[in-house]
Chains A and B, each alone.
Chain A
C-alpha cells in the first residue's frame, strides 16, 4: 500500500469497517511511514472529540429569565391588542389612500394650468413693458426734479 492508498483508506477506516487484509496492509503502511502515521493520529484524535464532548452546565437562573420574558410577552399583547391589525391592514390602506389623493390632486393642478392663456398673458406683458419703456422719463429730468 502506498501513501495515496493509505490516505484514502483513512476516510473509510473511520466510517466503516475495513476488510481484514486491507486493514492489515493499512496498519503495515502506518508502521513504515511516519507522515501517514502522524496524519492518522491527528485525524483520529480530532474525530474522537466528537464522542467526548464536554457538556454545558445548566443555568440556575434560566427559569426566572424565561418567566420574565413570558410576562413581558403577556403585557405586550394586552397593551397593543389593537396594534397588529392596524399595522397589517389599516396602515397600508391609509398609505394607499394618501398616495391616490396626492396623484389626483397633482393631476387636477396640472389640468388647471392653461398653456395658451399663459402664453397670451406673457406676450401682452412683454409688449406693455416695451411701450412703458418708451414712455419712461429721461434720467436728467428725474435728477432735476429730485433737486
Chain B
C-alpha cells in the first residue's frame, strides 16, 4: 500500500487504513518520542497523541514531504511540548514541597534488564550521563542531535523535519556533538579529581 493510498483511505474514513498507518509508523514515532523523553510510558502517551493529531489534521498534510517526515515533525513538537509542560509541573511540585506538601512524582530509574549488577550500575550511569548531556543542549541542537544520533536520520531528512537549511543542520549537529562531549568529559574530570 502506497502512502497516497494510505492517506486517501484515511481521509475517506476507512478504519483499516488508519490502523495500517499506526502499525507501520508506530516504531518510528515511539522511538523518536522515547529518544526525547527517556521513559516508555510517557513515550507511549505522546505516541498516541501524535497519531490522534495526525488523524485529525491529515487533511492539512501537503504531499510535498514524506508522511514519515510529517510524523517525525509532530512527534518532535509533541515531545518538546511535553518536556516544557513537565518543567512547569516540576516547578509547581517543588513549590508544594517547599510549603510542606508531599512530592507527587518521584524520579525512578527504569530497569534495563542487565544481569550483571556491576555492569548495570556503570552502564546506567553512562546512559543517564549521556541523556543529561543531550537534555542540557539548546532546543535546536537537541533535536538535530537526537534525530541524527538516536534516530539515525540523514542530514537531508533532518533538514526536512526541522525545516532548516543543510548548512544549519550540519552546524547544529557539530556544535551539539562538541557540547555533549564537553559535558561528559567535565563530569569524568570532576570524578577523577
Contacts and interface: CB of A to CB of B under 8 A. Distances in A.
Interface of A is mostly: helix
B22 interface: yes
Nearest to A35: B192
Classify chain B: how many residues form its interface, as a range: 35 or more
A26 B130 CA distance: 24
Interface of B is mostly: helix
Nearest to B175: A15
Contacts of A39: 185, 188-189, 192
A66 B40 contact: no
Given A45-B126, A56-B34, A69 B52 contact: yes
Contact of B181 (A35, A43, A51, A54): A43
B127 A49 contact: yes
A138 interface: no
Contact of B52 (A7, A45, A46, A70): A70
A121 B185 CA distance: 88
A46 B26 contact: no
Interface residues of A, number: 30
Nearest to A68: B48
Given A43-B181, A59-B30, A66 B51 contact: yes
Nearest to A46: B126
B188 A58 contact: no
Given A38-B192, A56-B31, A63-B22, A47 B181 contact: yes
A14 interface: yes
B22 A49 contact: no
B184 A70 contact: no
In this complex, the member of A14, A16, A73 whose beta carbon has the largest number of chain B beta carbons within 10 angstroms is A14
Interface string A62-87: 11011001100100000000000000
A99 interface: no
A37 B188 CA distance: 12
A55 interface: yes
A69 B48 contact: yes
21 contacts: A10-B185, A11-B182, A15-B177, A35-B192, A38-B192, A43-B181, A46-B126, A47-B180, A49-B127, A49-B130, A50-B150, A51-B149, A53-B35, A56-B34, A62-B26, A62-B30, A63-B23, A66-B48, A69-B48, A69-B52, A70-B55
Given A15-B177, A62-B26, 13 more contacts: A10-B185, A14-B177, A14-B181, A15-B174, A39-B185, A39-B192, A45-B126, A46-B130, A53-B149, A55-B27, A58-B27, A59-B30, A69-B52
Chain A to chain B: the 8 pairs with minimum beta-carbon distance, closest first = A50-B149, A15-B177, A46-B126, A63-B22, A58-B26, A56-B34, A14-B181, A42-B188
